[in-house]
Amino acid sequence: MTAEELQALRTRLEETLPDGAILEVQESGALVLRPDALLEAGRLLRDEEGFDYLSNVSGVDWLDQNEFEVVYHLYALRRGERMLSTGQPDGAPLATGPSPENQLSVAASAEAKRVSAEGMLGPVVLKVRVPRDNPVVPSVAGLWSSALFQEREAYDMFGLQFEGHPNLKRIYLWDEFADHPLRKDYVPEEA
């Protein structure tokens, strides 16, 4: 994603979101958001900017700053698909749908040309920071179902509370386990 595209995206987000929702734009292009603005920003990115695919949700423990961070990587999947089939991100959508014959059609690979708007394929990186003693983050599982398991993992590993998650419980460790092992101050039990 080029600098201009990022700037354009930032402007559009700033227009809609309340003042001060974007705390910082990092050098890498990541947008640091205020936690209460996350859902609105997510809705905007998904419904109006076409970032329909949430690839990655990862927790980070910044012990020195006494904060947890959640990082989201978003991609515009349908736009990528259109670029692939027509060579243009804004071309007509590929005709798909069930066919009785169940035949596989081969998408024209064409020369998937990289046109100017291509950078909008992503990733858009969103970051949210919350205090370590009250790690409550709004859940984005309602926007992208791919967060369902990944948020559970972040809860398991960091103890992040995803508000609004339909089934927030441990995913890897057993229920009786008390700690959150990917926290930087985690001390493993003596064997």
| Token digits of residue 53 | 């695919």
Rounded to a whole number of angstroms, the minimum distance from the CB of residue 4 to other proteins is 20
Window 95 to 114, contacts with other proteins (CB under 8 A)? 96-99, 102-109, 112, 114
Instruction: Confirm or reject binding of residue 119 to other proteins (CB under 8 A).
Output: no
CA distance 126 to 39: 11
CA distance 131 to 144: 24
Q: Which of 32, 94, 117, 130 binds other proteins (CB under 8 A)?
A: 94
CA distance 3 to 1: 7
Closer by beta carbon to other proteins, 2 or else 14: 2
Instruction: Confirm or reject binding of residue 11 to other proteins (CB under 8 A).
Output: no
Closer by beta carbon to other proteins, 17 or else 171: 171
Nearest to 67 by CA among 134, 21, 119, 126: 134
- Binding track over 44-73 against other proteins, x by CB under 8 A: --------xxxxx-x-x----------x-x
- Binding track over 145-174 against other proteins, x by CB under 8 A: xxxxxx--x---x------------xxxxx
Q: Give, to the nearest 10 degrees, the angle between helix 38-47 and helix 3-16.
A: 120
Structural contact between residues 24 and 147, judged by C-beta atoms closer than 8 angstroms: no
Closer by beta carbon to other proteins, 17 or else 94: 94
Instruction: Confirm or reject binding of residue 182 to other proteins (CB under 8 A).
Output: yes
Structural contact between residues 157 and 180, judged by C-beta atoms closer than 8 angstroms: yes
- Provide the 10 A C-beta neighbour count for residue 90: 12
Question: Strand 161-163 and strand 136-138: pairing?
Answer: parallel
The residues of the shown chain that bind other proteins, judged by CB under 8 A, are 27-28, 30, 52-56, 58, 60, 71, 73, 77-78, 80-81, 83-85, 94, 96-99, 102-109, 112, 114, 121, 123, 125, 144-150, 153, 157, 170-174, 181-182
